[in-house]
Amino acid sequence: MSESLRTRLFRWGFNLWPCYRGTGARVTHIASDWREIRIRLPLSWRTRNYVGTIFGGSLYAAVDPFYMIMLMKNLGPDYVVWDKAATVRFRKPGRTPLEAVFRLEDAELNDIRLMLAEAPKVDRSYTLHLVDRNGTIHTTVDKIIHVSRRAPAADSPQDPLPGRL
């Protein structure tokens, strides 16, 4: 799916945000429905480690926030979404630009909603790969995302200071 003006602006803002900009990675695409995001992580002076490969911290930081953000955008404000845990497996040193694609399917979102109808919270696991242009996997990241229903807001009194005129 193509980008909308809104997701394109979000992509530009995200790439300028100091926390993400510092990783050396760039978001290259955000689908208008927030169901697909693509990132690219080059080997550059900003991402190169002591031995000349992509720094492990850049590999993880480049992919860290996206499943959480995608779930927040797709589930809406009635849900609380948090990163809970991650495991990074470095399979092959990154000596060329790497890319990752994040996808959410309708079935996944429906499963989360159904599970939360019966349980107060659910943890979901997502696996993604940073690959080179040939499709060789260099890094595998397993993310665990916590999702729960947002508690209804307590009814606030109409007059916060009763008895005062």
Q: What's the confidence (pLDDT) of residue 158?
A: 54
CATH number at residue 48: 3.10.129.10
Number of structural domains in the chain = 1
Which pTM was predicted?
0.87
Kindly report, residue by residue over 72-88, the tens digit of the pLDDT: 999 999 999 999 999 99
Instruction: Kindly state whether residue 115 falls inside one of the protein's structural domains.
Output: yes
- Alpha-carbon distance of 47 to 96, in angstroms, equals 11
Among 128, 158, 153, 160, CA closest to 143:
128
Range of the domain at 122: 5-149
**What tokens appear for 116 in the block?**
């939360």
- Residue 154 inside a domain? The answer is no
In 3D space, the residue among 43, 64, 63, 67 whose CA is nearest the CA of residue 55 turns out to be 43
User: Would you say residue 157 lies in a domain?
Assistant: no
- Tens digits of per-residue pLDDT, 27-73? 999 999 999 999 999 999 989 999 999 999 999 999 999 999 999 99
Residues making up the chain, counted from first to last: 165
